[in-house]
Amino acid sequence: MRLRALRDHPDAFSSAYEDEGVEPLDFFARRIGTAPSGTFGGFIDGILAGITSLNVPDKLKMRHRAELAGIYVAPEHRRSGVARPMVEAAIAAARDAGVVSLRLTVNTRNVRAEQFYRSLGFRSYGVDRRMALIDGIYHDATMMGLELD
């Protein structure tokens, strides 16, 4: 599912299919992670419909601030309502781990995703210019944050 996300939405992620497509299965197994960091699945009738990664830094001074990344719902499961509880589960896990501040970035052209994050309480705090270079075109990213305390 991770590779499908990268392949089908090159504009939506800072990681490239070309980089991760050559990785062995073990690479993706490691991404599932060990709490508090890890990948959360959104399931419909036991079928994996979406994924979200939570990255909590190990460093003592940075552990209060985590990042959500790689948020993806397979096209056939969009508008099904799986996206919200999946991301909310990652937010709850962050809160349980003592995280007080969550961050994510979203391509400024990705109105749908940005709207979704806004509806979860995220607010934009700036624009990261030229965050990615994809097929010769620079993409800006909106930086969004959610305070949990």
Residue located via tokens 């391509």 = 107
Strands (E), the chain: 38-44, 47-55, 65-73, 101-107, 123-134, 137-147
Report the nearest approach of ligand COA to the CB of residue 44 (Å).
11
Report the nearest approach of ligand COA to the CB of residue 110 (Å).
5
Residue 116 lies near ligand COA (rule: CB under 6 A): yes
Token output for 10 = 């090159």
Q: What's the rounded Cα separation, in Å, for the pair 64 and 59?
A: 10
Closer residue to ligand COA, CB minimum distance, 9 or 65? 9
Q: At what angle do helices 111-119 and 83-96 cross, to 10 degrees?
A: 50
**Peptide bond connecting 10 to the previous residue in cis, omega within 30 degrees of 0:** no
Cβ-closest residue to ligand COA? 116
Out of 6, 40, 56, 72, the residue judged to bind ligand COA by CB under 6 A: 72
Look up residue 149 and give its DSSP letter: -
Closer residue to ligand COA, CB minimum distance, 83 or 94? 83
Site size toward ligand COA (CB under 6 A) is 18
Q: What's the rounded Cα separation, in Å, for the pair 64 and 66?
A: 7
Out of 106, 132, 144, 146, the residue judged to bind ligand COA by CB under 6 A: 106
Q: What's the rounded Cα separation, in Å, for the pair 118 and 123?
A: 6
Report the nearest approach of ligand COA to the CB of residue 95 (Å).
20
Out of 4, 30, 78, 123, the residue judged to bind ligand COA by CB under 6 A: 78
Which residues in this chain contact ligand COA in the complex, by CB under 6 A? 9, 12, 71-73, 78-79, 81, 83-84, 106, 110-113, 115-116, 119
